[in-house]
Amino acid sequence: MNLIEAKNLSLAYGRKTALDGVSFNIPKGRVVGLLGHNGAGKTSLMKALVGLLPVSQGEVSVLGLSPMAQRGQLLEQLCYIPDVAVLPRWARAHELITLMAGLQPRFSADRARALLKRTSIGLNDRVKSLSKGMVVQLHLALIAAIDAKLMILDEPTLGLDVMSRKGFYELLLDEWCDGERSVLISTHQVEEVESLLSDVLMLDEGKLVLNISLEDIDSRFHALSHDAAAADAVASAHPLLRYRQSGGRTAAIFDGAPPEQVAALGERIRPSLVDLFMALTRKPAMAPTQA
């Protein structure tokens, strides 16, 4: 069974379309990155998945349940950290553990305490005394102590420094991902999550422009590194994106293999997720200067 099944989802705020015909499935054991610029529809999609927003059109099932009609039952069975998540500043860590134990039937206080031992957070520490990165780690420890199959995270490391982001993702992968559970992570920090992901969903202005596993990116998309002398010939094959590499060479990304005569003009390289993100979601004003 897929943990999430979405078919032709559309969602609008008045005249503004937030989601436009979005369809995808997420099976168990996957770490899925939901990528997109600000305003692409990431948060709207996540709210629809947890029953906070009704869809205008389409069908969605999360853990076999309807997010709107069975929201109470659903929230007992998944982990969710929204982009506006806060913890009460006055509370101590052990008080939050006690609170969670009373609110969430699948929560394990012992598990939460064990997860906190991986951090520098003490059980008597108050939220207001913690750095922003430590607060996010505390929040993750509380959520990851829920016996669930699915975790949904909306920009969980926004505003954190590099070390705090690294610590967050290490805790997530080491202590929660076990091959049976799945995680859906919304972020625009593409370069930092690429190594963590098994799959990518990419949104652009409410439309799903890419739904692919990291394994399949290499077989579908071709990046060609070439000298400046070959620029015009490569451009004539209409790549998705042309960009400069370090060292002065230029590269081009193609959806599929370029014509043989063009492929012979350069060397095939692996397209990074960042470059692919730019190729599929950039606006005309953002397009790089052609080499």
pLDDT digits (tens, 9 = 90+) for 151-208: 999 988 888 888 888 888 888 888 888 888 999 999 878 888 888 899 999 999 999 9
For residues 206 and 44, give the distance between their C-alpha atoms in angstroms, rounded to a whole number: 9
User: What domains sit in the chain, N to C, each tagged with a CATH number?
Assistant: 4-205 (3.40.50.300), 220-286 (no CATH)
The answer to whether 222 and 256 are in contact (CB under 8 A) is yes
Query: CA–CA separation, 62 vs 225, rounded Å?
Result: 42
Q: Which residues contact 174 (CB under 8 A, 6 or more apart)?
A: 118
Name the band, by pLDDT with cuts 50, 70 and 90, for residue 244.
confident
pLDDT in tens, 17-41: 999 999 999 999 999 999 998 889 9
Of the candidates 196, 201, 194, 198, the one whose C-alpha atom is nearest the C-alpha of residue 171 is 196
Question: Over 50: is that where the pLDDT of 227 sits?
Answer: yes
Tokens representing 180? 């049976």
Q: How far apart are CA 213 and CA 199, in angstroms?
A: 4
